[in-house]
Amino acid sequence: MKKSMLGVIDATMLPGEMGDLALYRSPAAIPFAGRYRLIDFVLSNMVNSGVQSVAIFPRSPYRSLMDHLGSGKDWDLNRKRDGLFFFPSPTKEGQLDRMSEHLNYFHRSDQKYVIVSNCTTVANMDFAPVLDRFIKQNCDVLEVTHKGESTYIYLLSLELLLDLIDRRNETGYESVQAAVEDASSSLIKCQYEFEGFLQRIKTVDDYYQTSMELLEKDKWSELFNEFQPIYTKVKDEPPTNYLAGSHVTNAMIANGCIISGEVNHSIVFRGVAIGKNSTVKNSIVMQKSKIGENCVLEHVIIDKDVSVQDGAILRGTPEKPLVIKKGSVESAVTSS
């Protein structure tokens, strides 16, 4: 039964909602939790639930997203039949309009049901019981909820999805969400309450707060487990090197780093260097960024390839973390 599901990921969230983190990339491609991208979670959930065909509908800029996903090999989606499909649609605004440009994909599919999801929900979810609920309750469309609120993840039949696409001008529905939220609709609507760890990343604050939550052992364990792994693009990196004088407490450190300073309650991505007598606290430092000597970082999000010069002091607040743009050079005292 699992293999009867088709996956659709709507990766058209407006970049502006994620501020400087989405200046050069789709929100779906924003790095997260040390070695992942936001899209890795829903994509891995689909694969772990037996989905073998996934269509991604992105919004520009999507070069970084395409580079990350590649052929889908790291998610076992580089297949002769089915697999990973990428459908840019620069001229269409509505979700159903974008799907209408690729009807051949849906008509060629053998799957009977479709999971339609956003691209920035962080969770480890098995869709098999969702499908069981859908079938047992004879639903037309099922909405996944968390703590009583929508996750904007839906399950419906492929037949109904094609009907919604075909009749979109008549009904005025621009998306599956619009059909679900229409109180006058005759559709049989059901809900499935997901009880595990789940966060929808919509803003920079969401991103920062969720990242900090993952430093709590119980929440990290809910999201990452050996039975339903979260897959990502594989990169070969050496182990992290902790030099004399370094001190690390309650931190998530990826491979390939060189740590000479202090890291406390922070997330450090692959290939980061942190210099002597520098302190990184309550912060996120993304890939290949370099932190010089005698620096202080507190409540900061450092994007990729940033160079923080010796003696720089960067401070944000828990409510408003300071975001340093990708590729920047920081050499002064900066605060948010």
**pLDDT > 70: percent of the chain:** 99
Q: Using the predicted structure, report yes or no on whether residue 336 has a pLDDT greater than 80.
A: no
pTM metric for this prediction: 0.96
pLDDT for residue 91? 67
* C-alpha torsion 175→208→320→68, nearest 10: -70
Give the domain 2-223 fold: Spore Coat Polysaccharide Biosynthesis Protein SpsA; Chain A (3.90.550)
**Domains of the chain: which residue ranges?**
2-223, 241-335
Residue 145, Cβ density class (10 Å: 0-12 exposed, 13-18 middle, ≥19 buried): middle
Residue 33: strand pairing partners: none
For domain 241-335, the CATH architecture is 3 Solenoid (2.160)
- Residue 235's pLDDT band (boundaries 50, 70, 90)? confident
Range 184-208 average pLDDT? 97
Give the per-residue SS3 of the chain.
Answer: CHHHEEEEEEECCCHHHHHHHHCCCCHHHCEECCCEECHHHHHHHHHHCCCCEEEEEECCCCHHHHHHHCCCHHHCCCCCCCEEEECCCCCCCCHHHHHHCCHHHHHHCCCCEEEEEECCEEECCCCHHHHHHHHHCCCCEEEEEECCEEEEEEEEEHHHHHHHHHCHHHHCCCCHHHHHHCCCCCCCEEEEECCCCEEECCCHHHHHHHHHHCCCHHHHHHHCCCCCCCCCCCCCCCCCEECCCCEEECCEECCCCEECCEEECCEECCCCEECCCCEEECCEECCCCEECCCCEEECEEECCCCEECCCCEEECCCCCCEEECCCCEECCEEEC
- Residue 3's pLDDT band (boundaries 50, 70, 90)? low
How far apart are the C-alpha atoms of 184 and 225, rounded to whole Å? 42
One-letter amino acid for residue 276 of the chain: K
List the single range of 47-51, 225-229, 273-277, 294-298 with lowest mean pLDDT.
225-229
pLDDT in tens, 112-161: 999 999 999 999 999 999 999 999 999 999 999 999 999 999 999 999 99
pLDDT for residue 333? 79
How far apart are the C-alpha atoms of 296 and 279, rounded to whole Å? 5
Range 64-82 average pLDDT? 95
Phi, psi of 309 (to 5 degrees): -75, 160
List the single range of 143-147, 177-181, 329-333 with lowest mean pLDDT.
329-333
Q: Using the predicted structure, report yes or no on whether residue 263 has a pLDDT greater than 60.
A: yes
Provide CB contacts within 8 A for 43, sequence distance 6+: 7, 9, 54, 69, 75, 231
